[in-house]
Structure 1
Amino acid sequence: MRITSIETLWLNEFSNVLWVLIHTDEGITGLGETFSGSKAVEAFIHETAALKLIGQDPMRIEHLNRELLTYVGFSGQGAEERGRSAIDIALWDLFGKVVNQPVYQLLGGLCRDKVRTYNTCAGYKYVRNRPTWGTDDWGLEQKSEGPYEDLDAFLNNADELAHSLLEQGITGMKIWPFDTAAVKNNGYDISSADLNAALVPFEKIRKAVGDKMDIHVELHSLWRLPGILKVVKALEPFDPYWIEDPIRMDGFDDLRTLSERTSAPICASETLGTIRDFRSLMEAQCAHIVMPDVGWCGGITETKKIAAIAEAYQRPVAPHDCQGPVVLAASVHMSLALPNVLVQESVRAFYDGWYGELVDTVPRPTNGFFLPPEGPGLGLNLLPELWTRDDANRKVTDA
């Protein structure tokens, strides 16, 4: 079997989601995905990666993953790394289809029969029609598409949101009410008024459901040490499940100082790429929970190595996911197969919303847990009508 062509597809409506399809001379195709900067990733895939892949045996996944480590972009999360991630995911999907087995089986089989999920409280418009996004642009000004406009809910009705999630068996929720305050002072400080306003959702959640709900605090790497020390001190009474990405991940000394000043576990980081970055994180002894993103850190091949490094340091892994349906599927397979996975992220406004416009089988939890996906490979395919949409951007490189 040989790779005959590399195809990419992205849609103007979801311009940050890029799909990669690897075609072979035996008619079997693998599907991968990544997120952010689709045009740049598309350029890397066709100008550089395709030249290394076409004519190769797609079953040599480890070899091809190493081949795509470029002289520029061998670390971090640039376009090269995101492209390598999408290609690697596609190669594992293809492998599963060749041997008629799900990806989790190829990774060594199930370590658990199900994996708990928590809900990242984004809304339906968090990705749709948004080429860029930030703390002042969450898509809230657009009309809601359904009942799970969870970003607006955590800002204004966090108590009702907590009840709604518990009714679905979901016992964890991720919120980020501190972001706008961070922007005011570039993360160096927070006023008493802004601090108290950001604590309101936590007060509502604890008053409404007590300790039945785990609260994951997302800080989007927006803070500096003086400001974040105030935030974590104020959060202590609410017993957060973890503090995620409190500062930029280029300051491990500050992160270690912070971890020593709070009882809440530190979770890091979706913003790191490849085993090199995560090795440095582990060596710094400043994070309690490790969060790789399979669509950004080098794919399934790299993520399982990152998980192994974390396991050596006796740290659990919590795969990040706030992207498209293919990355979620890959994450679920890994969460079921890796021995030290703690919990799997998901967004109900995504799997109950726009994911269904893109794939034939939407990964979704049952009573708060993801079960083993059915079918070979990742277990899902892009809908055929995507290629004929007016906003489709398709490119193919072949021999």
Structure 2
Amino acid sequence: MKITKIETMSLGEFPNVSWIMVHTEGGIVGLGETYFGSEAVQSYVHETLAPQMLGKDALRIEAHSHTLLNNYVGYKSSGAEIRGASAFDIALWDIFGKVTGQPLYQLLGGLVNPKLRAYNTCAGYRYVRSRPTWGTDNWGINGNEGPYEDLEGFLTRADEVAESLIDEGYFGMKVWPFDFAAEKTRGTDISVADLKKGMVTLEKIRERVGDKIEIFLEMHGLWQLPAALKIANAVAPLRPYWFEDPIKPNNINALRQFRENAPAWTAASETLATRWSFRELLEQEATDVVIADLGWSGGISEARKVVSMTEAYNLPFAPHDCSGPVQLAACVHLCAASPNALTQEVVRAFYHGWYTELVEDLPELAGGFISPLEKPGIGVELKPGLRDRADVRGRTSDWNP
């Protein structure tokens, strides 16, 4: 099963999503995906990764993961090196499943969770669809394309969004009503007026539906410790489910201090990469829930080790999804085979919107639960004709024995 060709591709309409297609001499092709910095990822893949991996056995997944995650640079960050290596690793597991005729969850040990409860991140159809800019401008807030414009929804009518989610079976909703205030002070403080303004979102939810839905408070790592705790204490009577990334996890000790003083669970962090970063998070007891992104943390090989470490610390795992359809499908497989999987993040505006423009199949999402695909490998393929679009940006590296 030697690797004969490595392709990378992105689309101008979706400039943040990068795909990698790993071809083998047996004709089987594996599909991987990562997010952000697609041009940098493609450059890394063809400059550094492809020369190391072309001609190698595609089924030596652990050996290749070790090689790519122990390069001289990029071994503990979520930069282009790790994102490219993550996408490549996902593609290798896809190949493994197709070779054996088994869905990915079976290769990871078999079903533990045939279905997993899902919570909805209240992004809109065009959220993070354009290239990211610094700040909290809520990318794509004017992209109303259907019934799931949840970004504008939670900011203006969170009570209605909550009712809609309850009707569809979701047990939780993620919102970020304080981001605007962080930009004013660079996260150093928040005024009483801005606290009250942000709390309106949570108050509307509780006043309309009570405790029928959990509120996940996303803080995007925008705050310094004192301000983050000020927010946490202010919203405590509104019973948030967790505080996600209240501060950047570049100071684990500060994150631990937040967790020790917060009135609800702390969740962290999709922005960390490799088990070594998560080891520090766990050793310092800095989180209650571990979140990882398969396309940023090292791929399936690394994420399953992070899940195992998390279980050893008696903590739950909840993977990130605000990125792409291939990563979502892979996440659901991982959760299906993980005893400590807590919940799967979904963005219903993405799931019913632009994800359907890119791939043929998605994990079944019904009644607030999500289930893994049963096809061999990850079970997701890019739509036919996608590579023929005028906005395709791609590169290819071939093996020349």
Q: Determine if the TM-score, normalized by the shorter chain, exceeds 0.5.
A: yes
Q: Distance in 2 between matches of 1:127 and 1:229?
A: 27
Answer whether contact 1:12 1:129 (CA < 8 A) is retained: no
Partner AA of 2:141 in structure 1? L
* Contact kept? 1:14, 1:127, Cα under 8 Å: no
Displacement of 1:253 in angstroms is: 1.6
> For the Cα contact (< 8 Å) 1:351–1:364, is it kept in 2?
no
2:90 maps to 89
Q: How far apart in 2 are the matches of 1:280 and 1:52?
A: 30
Partner of 1:98: 99
Relative to 1, partners in 2 of residues 1:10 and 1:132: Cα closer, same or farther, differing over 3 Å? farther
How far apart, in 2, do the equivalents of 1:47 and 1:336 lie? 35
**Aligned runs of 1:357-372 on 2, under 5 Å?**
357-372=357-372
Shift in Å at residue 252 of structure 1?
Answer: 1.5
RMSD: 1.0
Measure, in 2, the Cα distance between the counterparts of 1:299 and 1:158. Answer: 34
Q: Is the 8 A contact 2:232 2:263 kept in 1?
A: no
Tell me the CA shift for residue 127 of structure 1: 3.0
1:166 Cα deviation (Å)?
0.7
Secondary structure in 1 matching 2:316: coil
Give the distance between the partners of 2:308 and 2:116, measured in 1 at CA: 18
Count of residues paired in the alignment = 398
Q: CA deviation at 1:238?
A: 1.1
Counterpart of 1:120 in structure 2 is: 121
Alpha-carbon shift at residue 141 of structure 1 (Å): 2.9
For the residue of structure 2 that corresponds to 1:52, the secondary structure is helix
Structure 2 residue runs without a partner (length 5+): none
Contact kept? 2:49, 2:68, Cα under 8 Å: yes
Distance in 1 between the 2:371 and 2:228 partners? 37
Which residue identity lines up with residue 20 of structure 1 in the other structure? I
What does residue 206 of structure 1 align with? Answer: 206
Contact 2:243 2:264 in 1 (8 A): yes
1:18 match: secondary structure: strand
Kindly report which structure 2 residues correspond to 1:13-162, keeping only aligned pairs within 5 A, or say none.
13-69=13-69, 70-132=71-133, 134-142=135-143, 144-162=144-162
Distance 1:133 1:226 in 2: 22
Distance in 1 separating the partners of 2:375 and 2:39: 31
In the alignment, is the contact (CA less than 8 A) between 1:118 and 1:343 conserved in 2?
A: yes
Deviations 1:251-308 (A, max 9, x none): 1221121112122010000011000100000111111100010110000000010011
Following TM superposition, by how much is the alpha carbon of 1:133 offset from its aligned partner in structure 2, in angstroms?
Answer: 6.2
Taking structure 2 as the reference length, the TM-score comes to 0.98
TM-score normalised by length of structure 1: 0.98
Q: Distance in 2 between matches of 1:38 and 1:146?
A: 28
Deviation at 1:104, TM superposition (A): 0.3
| 1:380 Cα deviation after fit | 1.2
Q: Residue 129 and residue 248 in structure 1: after superposition, are their counterparts in 2 closer, same or farther (change >3 A)? A: closer
Moved over 4 A (4+): none
How far, CA to CA, are the matches of 2:310 and 2:190 in structure 1?
Answer: 33
1:126 and 1:283 mapped to 2: Cα distance? Answer: 34
Deviation at 1:35, TM superposition (A): 0.1
Superposed, 1:252-263 pairs within 5 Å as 252-263=252-263
Gaps of 5+ in 1: none
Contact 1:253–1:284 under 8 Å retained in 2: yes
Q: Does 1:235 align with 2:230?
A: no
In structure 2, distance between residues paired with 1:172 and 1:65 = 34
Shift of 1:134: 3.8
